[in-house]
Amino acid sequence: MVAAADGNRAEKLGFTPGMVVQELGWDEDADDDLRVDIEDRVGAEMLDEDSDEVIDVVVLWWRDDDGDLVDALMDAIGPLADDGYVWVFSPKTGTSGYVDPAEIAESAPTAGLTQTSVISLGDWSGSRLVQPKSRSAKRA
């Protein structure tokens, strides 16, 4: 697991100015500093689940008692752009709401996603999940 160093964590997570970001699963325990980093980096507020825009990145706050992760991921990828991806943020090991990393790793392929990285974000862990490359995409 890679640790995000001091500085703008959103930049280290791959957020860029102008991205459309949707936030799902927010609750009072979410990392507000990370949320501010993301909004500052993209230059806009994150959209909620009621948005009908095409989304570049979904931020999914996920805790152990939130239900079925596969269902949540299936819902999350619906509005994603072809090159969009999902960050699943879950409480780190030993904290309330902790999610076993194996659950995320096993849920991703069932939802049609691939886990590409895991990063430590203080009290939260982040798992980056991407969609498979389109079969029609040109190979380099």
Distance CA 73, CA 42 (A): 22
**Tens-digit pLDDT profile for residues 75-109:** 999 999 999 999 999 999 889 999 999 999 999 99
Strand 124-130, strand 80-91: pairing: antiparallel
Band the pLDDT of 136: cuts 50, 70, 90.
Answer: very low
SS (H, E, C) 65-86: CCCCHHHHHHHHHCCEEEEEEE
pTM of the model: 0.89
